[in-house]
């Protein structure tokens, strides 16, 4: 079985389940009947740039990357994990309020992840203008939380999955100021335009994993316990509009 096609997976997911994604790729190759090369990346930007450079046919992408692949390369969203959404929590140190008389310092993993964009919307809803904030980009979500504990920043944007993976003792060191709850951002499977004619076949192959013993076992091993659900081609439109809105503000 020759490796003619390529799969890319968000590094956040391969960091947690490296081996399981290889099992997923093997399963998919057998169901589709041809080789698919999978080489995990350990960096968000490197993974995104590799896909944007071309040659990939199927991706499991974080929301920010998915929007870039759709807009720049014409990728098509086809499926997502049921009931799973990317949200942002705005946290501070326990017992401490916002500073007065100086800019508010906010830690964020990266301004190239949807957690940052959703965080901006949370600040806006609180009446905190981002022009009055100083953002410190620290590389990952846990480092953003640690920046608050180390008094490097006053607030932090934290991915909801990262927050829920922390121990109760760790979470007690923080105050959750606010959180997004729009349900518009999610990791998703997208296919390249070269595979557009096979979108229904591939979408159904993914969704059918829910009812296949081996497929369900793989989904469970990836913590996709509610299975996969089909997406329409306009599923990311609201999120893309949000990104355009904040990018426009940034340019003003």
> Residue 251: its pLDDT value, please?
40
**Alpha carbons 204 and 199: distance in angstroms, whole number:** 8
> Residue 161: its pLDDT value, please?
93
Give the phi and the psi of residue 210 in degrees, each rounded to 5. Answer: -60, -30
* pLDDT confidence band for 245 (50 / 70 / 90): confident
Element (H, E) at 115: helix 114-125
Encode pLDDT of 24-61 as tens digits. 999 999 999 989 999 999 888 899 999 999 999 999 99
> Residue 246: its pLDDT value, please?
84
Write the DSSP assignment of 5-68 as a string of letters: EEEEE-HHHHHH-HHHHHHHHHHHHHHHTSEEEE---S-HHHHHHHHHTS---EEEE-HHHHHH
Q: Do domains 3-84+184-251 and 88-179 have the same CATH topology?
A: yes
Rg over alpha carbons for the chain, rounded to the nearest Å, is: 19
> Residue 4: its pLDDT value, please?
75
Q: Look up residue 151 and give its two tokens.
A: 């008094």
* pLDDT confidence band for 249 (50 / 70 / 90): low
Name the residue ranges covered by the structural domains of the chain: 3-84+184-251, 88-179
Encode pLDDT of 167-225 as tens digits. 999 999 999 999 999 899 999 999 999 999 999 999 999 999 999 999 999 999 999 99
State how far the alpha carbon of 29 is from the alpha carbons of 38, 58, 77, 162, in Å: 11, 12, 19, 31
Our CA angle for 3, 4, 7, nearest 5°, is 80
pTM: 0.91
* pLDDT confidence band for 158 (50 / 70 / 90): very high
Give the contacts of 240 (CB within 8 A, at least 6 positions apart).
Answer: 67, 70, 71
Q: Which residues, listed in sequence order, are joined to residue 6 by a DSSP beta bridge?
A: 37
> Residue 250: its pLDDT value, please?
54
> Residue 1: its pLDDT value, please?
38
Give the phi and the psi of residue 177 in degrees, each rounded to 5. Answer: -75, -45
Torsion of CA 80, 85, 86, 92, to 10 degrees: -170
The CATH superfamily of 88-179 is Periplasmic binding protein-like II (3.40.190.10)
Mean pLDDT value of segment 150-177: 95
Which one has a higher pLDDT value, 227 or 99?
227
Q: Which class would CATH give 3-84+184-251?
A: alpha beta
Mean pLDDT value of segment 229-238: 95
* pLDDT confidence band for 252 (50 / 70 / 90): very low
């Amino acid at each position: 079985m020759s490796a003619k096609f390529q799969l890319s997976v968000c590094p956040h997911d391969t960091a947690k389940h490296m081996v399981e994604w290889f099992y997923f790729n093997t399963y998919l190759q057998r169901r589709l009947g041809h080789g698919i090369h999978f080489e995990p990346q350990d960096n968000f930007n490197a993974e995104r740039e590799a896909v944007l450079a071309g040659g990939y046919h199927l991706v499991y992408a974080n929301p920010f990357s998915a929007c870039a692949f759709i807009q720049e390369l014409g990728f098509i969203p086809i499926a997502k994990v049921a009931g799973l959404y990317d949200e942002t929590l705005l946290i501070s140190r326990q017992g401490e309020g916002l500073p007065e008389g100086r800019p508010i310092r906010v830690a964020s993993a990266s301004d190239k992840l949807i957690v940052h964009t959703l965080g901006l919307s949370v600040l806006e809803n609180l009446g905190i203008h981002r022009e009055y904030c100083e953002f410190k980009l620290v590389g990952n979500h846990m480092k953003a939380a640690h920046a608050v504990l180390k008094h490097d920043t006053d607030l932090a944007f934290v991915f909801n999955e990262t927050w829920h993976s922390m121990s109760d003792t760790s979470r007690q060191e923080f105050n959750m100021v606010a959180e997004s709850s729009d349900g518009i951002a999610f990791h998703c499977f997208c296919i390249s335009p070269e595979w557009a004619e096979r979108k229904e076949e591939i979408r159904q192959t993914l969704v059918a994993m829910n009812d296949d013993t081996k497929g369900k076992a793989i989904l469970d091993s990836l913590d996709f316990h509610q299975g996969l659900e089909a997406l329409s081609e306009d599923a990311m439109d609201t999120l893309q509009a949000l990104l355009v809105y904040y990018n426009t503000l940034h340019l003003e």
